[in-house]
Amino acid sequence: MILFGSRTTQKLVAALIFVCTVCQHEAAQRLVRRRTWFTLFFVPIFPFGHGSYTISCAYCGNTYGVSRENADRFVADAEAAHVNAEADRILSDEDARIRGEQQQSDRD
């Protein structure tokens, strides 16, 4: 006997903080990708299609579907925000180091 079927998985793709269109609160908006997989003996073998994307608000819980293009844009924005956060962290580390050196030279 061969056991086959399907299973839908959900995966958090990216998160961004912006004003929700429904509750008008600035909150984390999570991009989730849902995919349906063909399973054989309960093991996912291959996905059907590209899946669907939804964005859900962490504040009000509202969830709405988005196109693949908008999902790609969301991911690009999230990556840019991450890169900016990383750059800010490096710059503030550098500022702290320079300030430390200045304090050191003030003492000399």
Q: How far is the CB of 54 from Zn ion (least distance, A)?
A: 13
The strand pair at 26-40 and 43-57 is best described as: antiparallel
- Chain positions 26 to 85 lying near Zn ion, rule: CB under 5 A, are 57, 59-60
Comparing CB distances to Zn ion, the nearer of 38 and 59 is 59
Which span sits near Zn ion by CB under 5 A: 13-21, 30-38, 72-80, 91-99?
Answer: 13-21
Q: How far is the CB of 25 from Zn ion (least distance, A)?
A: 6
Edge-first strand order for the sheet with 26-40 is 4-19, 26-40, 43-57, 63-66
Comparing CB distances to Zn ion, the nearer of 25 and 89 is 25
**Positions in the binding site for Zn ion (CB under 5 A):** 20, 22-23, 57, 59-60
